[in-house]
Structure 1
Amino acid sequence: MKTAVVLFTRDLRVHDNPALAAACANAEQVVPLFVLDPDLTRLSPNRTRFLHESLADLRAALRDRGGDLVIRIGDPVAEAIELARSTGAEGIGMAADVSQYARRREERMRKECERHRIALRLFPGLTVVDPGALRPGGGGDSYRVFSPYHRVWRAARWREEVAAPATVTLPPGIALGHLPAIPKGESPDAAPGGETEARRRFATWLRHIGPYPELHNDLPGDGTSRLSPYLRFGCLSPLELTRAAISHEAEEYARQLCWRDFYYQVALTFPQLSTRPLRPRADTEWRVDRDALQHWQDGTTGVPVVDAGMRQMRAEGWMHNRARLITAAFLTKHLGVDWRPGVQWFFRWLLDGDVPNNSGNWQWVAGTGNDTRPYRKFNPIRQAQRFDPEGVYVRRYVPELKGIEGGAVHQPWRLPEKVRRGLDYPGPLESHRDEAVWLRP
């Protein structure tokens, strides 16, 4: 093949990128392309900033190899077809994805490639195991329970990693297009995007991965990798990360990466994961309480650990995994508010927000998804006392409570009245002020 187009989507890297590697191995000339879809860039200022930084880093990596990144704005299908036709490309390669948007894009791309007699090839790379590769025995299109999926996933034969191409040869005369300006985003302390930063953090994480099983739930210690945004944008290969974790005997961390794959195979067979419950009978009659929802969004519920998590998300575009569970459970199981506004609020702020994991985990917590114990109810005070016993995490993100020592910070309503009057911090929401489950741990 003389010329091939590689349409980057959520695989913004040169290391272990099967679509890019195959194009460079089989075509004399390769046109790396990214199309900015205006419909997507409006969804989250945080992710838009991260995306633009990642594109700048990808362009630099391709230039180091003699190529470049072509930037277009508009409909990805139309722009890819136009570029393929103008360069005489015989094929287009891209990573397969599972969201409704991605699958519509792939179907339109397939039809347009057939119409213009251009070969289309979809590649793996967004997960460790392809979402459609593992099917439960006895029928069924996907695993609904994690444990059997994990066993099969761990025993499966994984694809081989592919090296970054040494050279990328771009056809002459292509208008490259300008990289978009990098916006501020909404979270001042959000992580920077790009494969270079991803690999730096990856190397650092491997040096500290040992205590992960003991520390990953520790709220103040934050013993997590914080690599999820880089996985979400494909700045880091999930296969490479998982293999590295296993080689470091960090099976518990690899198990968390399996959860990511699990929700991708759920989303493949249930694309309405963000809007419809997996367990319809568990989708209870939710309360309509806009005031409670607003307080939850603003981090002013009066429950310190909940407010700390929500404020961390606003400040960093990221939230500790244990805090995500606590805050989501508080909205759905304690305030009784529908999980779907929670999905959308997280999706707006989180750098790692995507359909499979954001929506899948929300449904798990709400009891409408893949949890085998859908009626469990997490007590936020007990959770705080267990995973933030001295209140360090809470004081980090709720400065109004910095003057309260130790674990007393988790229940400010129990402080002496004189102390309470001096706090610029709300009491528990009126609608749940008397709820014994979390007021009396």
Structure 2
Amino acid sequence: MTRTAIVLFTRDLRVHDHPALAAACSAFARVVPLFVLDPALTGRSPNRTRFLHQSLAALRDALRDRGGDLVIRHGDPVAETIRLAGEVGAEGVALSADVSRHARTRERRLRAECERHRLHLRLFPGLTIVDPGAVRPAGGDHYRVFTPYFRAWQGALWREELAPPDRIRLPERLRPGSSPDGPPVGELPAPPPGESPHAAPGGEAAARRRLAQWLPTVDRYGDIHDDLAGDATSRLSPYLRFGCLSPLELANRAGERAGDPGGARFGPFVRQLCWRDFYHQVAAVFPEIATKAYRRGATEDWRRDPEALDAWTRGRTGMPIVDAGMRQLRAEGWMHNRARLITAGYLTKVLGLDWREGVAVFARWLLDGDVANNAGNWQWVAGTGNDSRPHRGFNPTRQAARFDPDGTYVRRWVKGGAPG
């Protein structure tokens, strides 16, 4: 009997270094790649919806190049996975583990349904470099402060990077065409329009092109990444958010490029990747990270001012460096990290508005609007999160003088960028 497994893709839209896909292709004769368009997640961000559709098209092409295909269904991911398993006679389901509240609820429901239908469910790593929970402080379930986490993270054993499968074989009776309420997989519709006219394209191929373009500058990252006008950051965060690029592969390539895997492996850029892992291990034990203050006893005396919030959102506060960042966000679906700190600090520490409102605005526009990192960073700035200095401020005038001294970044976006 030919053994068959389903690989349920979520936000791991790649074939390189994909542990769930690699394991399924190694252990099963037939593998069915599946993505379910979940109505519970649609409509939240036109920018990310467009990026997602582009990434699915790229994943489909990569799977077809290896003899496979991508089955796309619409509806509840658990119900659709179980239904497809029945159609193809699958024995098991492979899934990349995730930490958000939605992902963990989906996992619990899927596990229960797999047990009921006598299917084996196995979860795999791949969304972070070091698994959430793999390193823990003595007597605790997670690290609350970044620096001790980084020290422990540096000593963690990284898994082996995996090559993409050479060949993917579908069940003979599978017809990866139309589902009852969706388009044929071979006829994916054009990506829906996003709200940001200059947003980066989605997909693994685009991610790997961007990686090749940016990687030669990684050894100078520590000196240039805060230069707002220089725009020398990697811009790879959207591809990490959708899993178009493996964070482990990115860390490995960055360390190799630095020329000293034993030392510079943990240089400034890889340290930023560790921040991403840090917030994932926080969210794994504190799934309310986007809605509740993380720090016990945090002061939450926010005021309500819809007009001020709207002016901040549209880049019309009258503070040039803040308006530049917000206009970049609306134009590109992305914002320089230093500008994120400045704009978030202005909303919370200057305007006194609730960090949750900032989370919502960023979640709508950002291509990389990841729950753990978006909310974690907002709480860090607002003084309700993991910062050991909760009263830290980001004076916008001083920040502009330091990181955009000749005003190039401001002129680029305030004079040249549409305010919306």
TM over 0.5: yes
| Alignment correspondent of 1:156 | 156
Residues of 2 paired with 1:13 and 1:283: CA distance? 42
- 2:116 equivalent in structure 1: 115
The corresponding residue for 2:247 is 238
* CA–CA distance in structure 1, aligned partners of residues 23 and 70 of structure 2: 17
Alpha-carbon deviation of 1:273? Answer: 0.2
Amino acid in the other structure paired with 2:83: E
- 1:330 and 1:199 mapped to 2: Cα distance? 35
Give the letter for the 1:214 counterpart.
D
Partners of 1:214 and 1:295 lie apart in 2 by 33
Structure (1 or 2) with the larger CA radius of gyration:
1
CA distance in 2, matches of 1:223, 1:203: 14
Task: Report % sequence identity.
Answer: 67
Match of 1:259 among 275, 292, 305: 275
Alpha-carbon offset, residue 280 of structure 1: 3.8
- CA distance in 2 between counterparts of 1:331 and 1:141 reads 32
Equivalent of residue 195 in structure 1, options 204, 212, 223: 204
* 1:267-326 C-alpha deviation (Å, 9 max, x unpaired): 000000000001142232111111111110110000000000000000000000000000
* Alpha carbons 2:114, 2:121 under 8 Å: kept: yes
Matched, 1:370 2:379: no
**Counterpart pick for 1:310 among 303, 322, 326:** 326
Which amino acid in structure 2 is aligned with residue 238 of structure 1?
P
Aligned to 1:337: 353
Which of 274, 278, 282 does residue 298 from structure 2 map onto? 282
What are the within-5 Å matches in structure 2 for residues 157-236 of structure 1?
157-176=157-176, 177=178, 178=184, 179-236=188-245
Provide Cα deviations, 1:234-274, integer angstroms capped at 9, x if missing partner.
00000000111122235110000000000000000000000
Question: 1:93 matched to which residue of 2?
Answer: 94
State the shift of 1:205 in Å: 1.4
Which residue number corresponds to residue 30 of structure 2?
29
Structure 1 residue 359: deviation in Å? 0.1
Assess if the C-alpha contact under 8 Å between 2:216 and 2:257 holds in 1: no
Q: Which runs of 4+ in 1 moved over 6 A?
A: none
Question: RMSD over aligned Cα, in angstroms?
Answer: 1.3
Q: Which runs of 5+ in 1 are unaligned?
A: 403-423, 426-441
Structure 2 equivalent of residue 411 of structure 1: none
Whole-Å Cα distance in 2 between the matches of residues 252 and 209 of structure 1?
A: 9
- Tell me the distance in 2 between the aligned counterparts of 1:378 and 1:28: 56
Give the residue type in structure 1 aligned to 2:174: I
Structure scoring higher RCO (CA < 8 A, sep ≥ 6) equals 2
Q: Which range moved further: 179-188 or 347-356?
A: 179-188
Cα distance, 1:160 vs structure 2: 0.5
Please give the TM-score of this superposition, normalised by the length of structure 1.
0.89
Distance 1:349 1:280 in 2: 30
Q: Kindly state the Cα deviation for residue 175 of structure 1 after the two structures are TM-superposed.
A: 3.0
User: How far off is 1:173 after superposition?
Assistant: 3.1
Long gaps (5+) in structure 2: 179-183, 259-263
CA drift at 1:327: 0.1
Structure 2 residue 78 is matched with structure 1 residue 77 = yes
Contact between 1:277 and 1:283, CA under 8 Å: does it hold in 2? no
Aligned: 1:351 with 2:367: yes
Aligned residues: 402
TM-score, normalised to structure 2, is 0.94
Amino acid at match of 1:82: R
Amino acid at match of 2:364: R
